[in-house]
């Protein structure tokens, strides 16, 4: 029934999924790395065509090996579901939308998903939108999908803070190799006019079964065979150290109930060695389904800057996962001075039963100037006798009610200086 949550255990499931209009959440317990939907035959692996809305949630699956005319992994018709933390790979459409097909006023919201290795015989190697449909994608990676126009996304889409091969208009989008840990060509279906596989394991396996795929032309049966052999060389869509997709997402787009990635690691990790190009306060979420632990010393899970009362000194408190044991490490340092807004860098040495590693961490110097006291009329940082005398001198109606600066002793904003203003001043005395 509506509002139910169905939690799926790890495994590969040979079936089709139809939400039949239910506003339910279907999620995996341990993420797409170990939870795969592989349909048993031709057809759409996941279907929303009964007017499903944002409360229909599909979370944490790999959809692989789908074969259909359109949208072999997911097809949405007059429906707008929420799709989060999913991987679409190795699906092939003879028509449009190798990964997802949206038609007839469909507006799915797709967050922290990866589309790679999908094939469409027509438009939209990853996603196709038509019939007044528009998909919204944030923090996603679309790379290595093939359509006849070589465009990852076909039709209208709102895309932000995503890595799209060939580029796509939108705030925070990039067009740069995401540097997946491992992607094998045997998992990528090829167009019919190209021969062979570039991946040695795939090429050997396919050529042994069907030599014509490698010494003549790569045709549809070769693509099906390559997909069947994909288990011999599984893909790993985690991000390698130095990936431009690290710390490049939008924190505000991550659903409030999502605090871990598909490996169970914190969904928000700051990698000091990688520039922050995303949106939000540190740490910034990565693009794609997995949060990078980085290749360095410390992956920061939280960072706090606290100003001291003197107005110039501040303390930085950092917590993160260290590269030596994976345990939690806390780093604290205090500094003062410097121009507000400038970058201050320091070297953090991590010890875990002995020297572990060191890394450079940079923070922005904050403005620690104390806020002016509301009753400090002379601006000396103290509410005292001078302020009391200034209030008495201004006693009575204000000459200009529209400009607060013209009547600074009118603390309660009633266009006169009187007993209430005096009480406010006495309450702030000192």
Q: Would you tell me the crossing angle of helices 419-427 and 385-393 to the nearest 10 degrees?
A: 170
Are residues 267 and 118 located together in one domain of the fold? no
pTM: 0.71
Residue 62 falls inside a structural domain: yes
Backbone torsions φ then ψ of 319, nearest 5 degrees: -130, 140
First to last CA, the chain: 61
Whole-number Å distance between alpha carbons of 267 and 255:
11
Helix (H) / strand (E) containing 12? strand 11-13
| DSSP H stretches of helix in 109-234 | 200-209, 212-215, 220-228
Residue 244 falls inside a structural domain: no
Q: Which residues of the chain have pLDDT under 50?
A: 185-196, 198, 231-232
Are residues 75 and 165 located together in one domain of the fold? yes
Q: Are 262 and 31 in contact (CB under 8 A)?
A: yes
**Structure-token pair, residue 311:** 């107005």
Number of residues that this document lists for the chain: 430
Are residues 93 and 217 located together in one domain of the fold? no
**Structure-token pair, residue 40:** 């048993």
Locus of tokens 């002793």: 409
Are residues 144 and 59 located together in one domain of the fold? yes
Residue 250 falls inside a structural domain: no
Residue 372 falls inside a structural domain: no
Backbone torsions φ then ψ of 10, nearest 5 degrees: -55, 150
Locus of tokens 């590969």: 12
Are residues 84 and 142 located together in one domain of the fold? yes
Are residues 394 and 354 located together in one domain of the fold? no
Residue-level pLDDT at 206: 65
Residue 29 falls inside a structural domain: yes
Q: What is the DSSP letter of 149?
A: T
- Reduced to 3 states (helix: H, G, I; strand: E, B; else coil), residue 426 is helix
Are residues 281 and 353 located together in one domain of the fold? yes
- Strands, E, within 117-210: which ranges? 119-120, 127-129, 135-138, 141-142, 153-154, 157-160, 163-164, 180-182
Evaluated on CA atoms 53, 56, 61, 67, the torsion sign reads: negative
Residue-level pLDDT at 325: 67
Whole-number Å distance between alpha carbons of 27 and 6:
6
Helix (H) / strand (E) containing 5? strand 5-8
Task: Determine the structural domain holding residue 405 and report its residue range.
Answer: 385-427
Residue 409 falls inside a structural domain: yes
Whole-number Å distance between alpha carbons of 210 and 189:
15
**Structure-token pair, residue 367:** 């403005």
Q: What is the DSSP letter of 365?
A: P
Are residues 87 and 63 located together in one domain of the fold? yes
Whole-number Å distance between alpha carbons of 7 and 29:
6
Q: Are 287 and 178 in contact (CB under 8 A)?
A: yes
Are residues 222 and 268 located together in one domain of the fold? no
Are residues 228 and 292 located together in one domain of the fold? no
On the 0-12 / 13-18 / 19+ scale of CB atoms within 10 A, 179 is: middle
Number of domains in the chain: 4
Are residues 154 and 222 located together in one domain of the fold? no
Residue 197 falls inside a structural domain: yes
Are residues 394 and 310 located together in one domain of the fold? no
Residue 148 falls inside a structural domain: yes
**For residue 270, which of 290, 288, 237, 248 has the smallest C-alpha distance?**
248
């Amino acid at each position: 029934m509506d509002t139910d949550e169905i939690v799926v255990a790890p495994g590969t499931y040979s079936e089709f999924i139809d939400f039949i209009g239910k506003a339910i959440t279907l999620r995996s317990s341990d993420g797409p790395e170990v939870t795969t939907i592989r349909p048993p035959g031709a057809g759409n692996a996941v279907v929303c065509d009964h007017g499903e809305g944002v409360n229909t949630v599909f979370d944490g699956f790999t959809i692989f090996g789908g074969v259909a005319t359109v949208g072999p992994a997911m097809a949405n018709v007059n429906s707008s579901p929420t799709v989060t933390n999913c991987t679409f790979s190795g699906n092939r459409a003879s028509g449009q939308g190798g990964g997802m097909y949206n038609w007839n006023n469909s507006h799915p919201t797709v967050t922290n998903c990866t589309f790679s290795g999908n094939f469409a015989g027509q438009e939209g190697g990853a996603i196709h939108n038509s019939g007044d449909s528009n998909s919204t994608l944030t923090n996603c990676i679309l790379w290595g999908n093939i359509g006849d126009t070589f465009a990852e996304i076909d039709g209208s889409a709102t895309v932000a803070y995503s890595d799209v091969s060939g580029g796509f208009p939108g705030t925070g989008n990039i067009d740069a190799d995401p540097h997946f840990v491992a992607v094998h060509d045997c998992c990528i279906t090829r167009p019919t006019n190209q021969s062979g596989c570039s991946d040695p394991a795939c090429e050997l396996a396919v050529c042994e079964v069907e030599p014509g795929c490698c010494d003549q032309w790569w045709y549809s049966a070769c693509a099906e065979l390559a997909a069947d052999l994909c288990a011999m060389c599984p893909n790993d869509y985690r991000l390698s150290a130095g990936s431009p997709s690290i710390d490049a997402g939008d924190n505000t787009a991550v659903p409030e109930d999502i605090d871990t990635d598909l490996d169970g690691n914190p969904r928000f990790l700051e990698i000091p060695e990688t520039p922050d190009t995303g949106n939000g306060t540190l740490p910034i979420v990565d693009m794609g389904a997995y949060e990078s632990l980085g290749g360095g010393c410390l992956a920061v899970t939280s960072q706090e800057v606290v100003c001291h009362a003197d107005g110039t000194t501040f303390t930085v408190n950092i917590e993160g996962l260290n590269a030596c044991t994976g345990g939690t490490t806390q780093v604290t340092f205090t500094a003062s001075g410097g121009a507000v807004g400038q970058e201050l860098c320091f070297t953090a040495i991590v010890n875990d039963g002995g020297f572990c590693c060191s890394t450079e961490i940079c923070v922005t110097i904050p403005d620690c100037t104390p806020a002016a006291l509301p009753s400090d009329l002379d601006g000396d940082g103290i509410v005292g006798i001078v302020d009391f005398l200034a209030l008495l001198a201004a006693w009575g109606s204000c000459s200009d009610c529209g400009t607060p600066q013209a009547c600074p002793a009118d603390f309660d904003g009633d266009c006169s200086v009187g007993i209430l203003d005096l009480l406010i001043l006495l309450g702030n005395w000192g």
